[in-house]
């Protein structure tokens, strides 16, 4: 017990600050209707001074902020498994499932190719492509946690979160109008909304703005995309391990696991949740805890980042994410037509 207290005490200031920023971000999101992750990021960046060195020493809050940005993030990703069940995924039937799997795989593949053509590392294409193809900011944070360390990794993660949140909000407004212009029925419109908008909240908002039927279909399709998070994390972890071995970064005599612990926990929670044994109150508490963990970790990542680092990214990352988003939308229009 004394050892645990000794370990926790240095983390408390940073954990408390991250939690306060998460509460503020949630409040602003509920009152102004903007993505909560974006608020958490911007508020965190405004508090960047809390991670700066004081007299040549790290600030008191630095350790807790670092812990939140890494360990709390992984816990939030693991708890995402409580959002879906096998029955929800199977309820879609095989054609929609195959359509979603194909769309996710092709979007990530296109993202990797475009990233290489634009001069970026493969991992940046996987990060942005996975965020666009799966579930927006949550996917970006989950994939970032599985990727190898890099000096600009957190900058890339922050930019991806900003980009995917902005594009998702724009899509929430524009895509319902697009489905009307294309003459889609409620089921087709719901499938398009669920298959193309990045963040879950925006999918729900756009889907139910069309009709209740479209909203139900959009939510189910979106859940299938969320389920794709596990195999994509596994892919990212495998590629990260290959990268570390190729560059001699792996620890001598040890072999890292194929799947990080939070991906295994994600799969276990999906399986347990699918049995129906868990009380509804516990599942809902787990979903809320996941959301709070991800928001707090996003705030902590923001605190570790300088605004000037984001402003110097140039036009190429913006073009990459826009092209990935347009590709996914065009692909779903084609698949639904077929």
Residue 129: C-alpha distances to residues 136, 249, 317, 322, 325 (Å): 10, 25, 11, 10, 9
Q: Is the pLDDT of residue 179 over 70?
A: yes
Q: Which residue has the higher pLDDT, 94 or 133?
A: 133
How far apart (Å, rounded) are the C-alpha atoms in residues 108 and 186? 28
Residue 49: C-alpha distances to residues 58, 165, 302 (Å): 11, 25, 11
Q: Are 115 and 122 in contact (CB under 8 A)?
A: yes
Strand-pair partners of 57: 54
What would the mean pLDDT of 303-331 be, rounded to a whole number? 82
Residue 317: C-alpha distances to residues 53, 114, 195 (Å): 30, 10, 23
pLDDT band, very low/low/confident/very high, at 246 (cuts 50, 70, 90): confident
Residue 226: C-alpha distances to residues 21, 211, 319 (Å): 26, 22, 24
Give residue 16's pLDDT.
Answer: 93
pLDDT band, very low/low/confident/very high, at 208 (cuts 50, 70, 90): confident
Q: Distance between alpha carbon 194 and the CA centroid of its chain, in Å?
A: 16
Question: Mean pLDDT across the chain, nearest whole number?
Answer: 84
Share of the chain above pLDDT 90, in %: 29
Residue 275 CB neighbour total at 10 angstroms: 9
What per-residue string of b and e applies to 228-243 under the rule 16 or more CB within 10 Å gives b? bbbebbbbbbebbbeb
Q: Which of 32-36, 205-209, 259-263, 332-336 has the highest mean pLDDT?
A: 332-336
What would the mean pLDDT of 252-277 be, rounded to a whole number? 75
Give residue 17's pLDDT.
Answer: 93
Q: Is the pLDDT of residue 253 over 60?
A: no
What would the mean pLDDT of 271-300 be, rounded to a whole number? 90
Give residue 181's pLDDT.
Answer: 93
How far apart (Å, rounded) are the C-alpha atoms in residues 209 and 205? 6
User: What are the backbone dihedrals phi and psi of residue 256, each rounded to the nearest 5 degrees, phi first?
Assistant: -65, 150
How far apart (Å, rounded) are the C-alpha atoms in residues 265 and 81? 8
Lookup: tokens for 241: 């391990």
Q: Are 293 and 79 in contact (CB under 8 A)?
A: yes
Q: What is the pLDDT of residues 10-62, one digit of tens each?
A: 888 899 999 999 999 999 988 887 778 878 888 988 888 887 766 556 778 88
What would the mean pLDDT of 49-78 be, rounded to a whole number? 80
Residue 63: C-alpha distances to residues 19, 45, 137 (Å): 14, 17, 24
Give residue 308's pLDDT.
Answer: 65
Lookup: tokens for 137: 């900011």
To the nearest 10 degrees (0 to 180), the angle between helices 186-196 and 212-227 is 30
Give the number of C-alpha atoms closer than 13 A to the C-alpha of residue 140, restricted to the C-beta side: 30
Q: Which residues contact 110 (CB under 8 A, 6 or more apart)?
A: 129, 323, 324, 327
Give residue 5's pLDDT.
Answer: 73
| pTM of the predicted structure, to 2 decimals | 0.76
Q: Which residue has the higher pLDDT, 257 or 318?
A: 318
Q: Which of 38-52, 78-92, 96-110, 309-323 has the highest mean pLDDT?
A: 96-110
Give residue 57's pLDDT.
Answer: 62
Give the H or E element holding residue 277.
Answer: none
């Amino acid at each position: 017990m004394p050892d645990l207290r000794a370990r926790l005490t240095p983390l408390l200031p940073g954990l408390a600050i991250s939690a306060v920023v998460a509460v503020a971000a949630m409040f602003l999101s509920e009152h102004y209707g903007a993505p909560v992750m974006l608020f958490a990021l911007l508020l965190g960046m405004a508090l960047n001074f809390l991670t700066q060195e004081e007299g040549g020493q790290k600030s008191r809050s630095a350790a807790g902020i670092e812990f939140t940005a890494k360990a709390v993030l992984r816990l939030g990703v693991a708890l995402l498994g409580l959002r879906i069940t096998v029955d929800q995924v199977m309820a879609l039937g095989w054609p929609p499932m195959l359509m979603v799997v194909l769309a996710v795989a092709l979007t990530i593949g296109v993202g990797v190719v475009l990233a290489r053509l634009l001069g970026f590392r493969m991992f940046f294409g996987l990060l942005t492509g996975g965020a666009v193809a799966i579930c927006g900011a949550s996917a970006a944070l989950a994939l970032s946690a599985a990727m190898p360390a890099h000096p600009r990794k957190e900058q890339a993660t922050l930019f991806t979160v900003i980009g995917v949140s902005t594009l998702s909000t724009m899509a929430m407004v524009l895509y319902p109008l697009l489905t009307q212009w294309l003459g889609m029925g409620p089921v087709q419109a719901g499938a398009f909304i669920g298959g193309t908008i990045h963040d879950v909240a925006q999918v729900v908002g756009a889907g139910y703005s069309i009709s209740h039927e479209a909203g139900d279909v959009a939510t189910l399709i979106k859940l299938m995309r969320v389920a794709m998070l596990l195999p994509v994390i596994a892919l990212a972890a495998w590629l990260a391990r290959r990268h570390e071995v190729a560059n001699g970064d792996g620890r001598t005599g040890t072999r890292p696991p194929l799947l990080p612990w939070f991906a295994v926990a994600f799969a276990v929670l999906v399986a347990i949740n699918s049995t129906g044994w868990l009380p509804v109150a516990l599942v809902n508490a787990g979903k809320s805890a996941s959301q709070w963990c991800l928001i707090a970790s996003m705030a902590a990542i923001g605190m570790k980042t300088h605004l000037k680092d984001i402003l110097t990214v140039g036009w190429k990352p913006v073009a990459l994410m826009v092209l990935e988003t347009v590709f996914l939308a065009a692909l779903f229009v084609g698949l639904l037509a077929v």
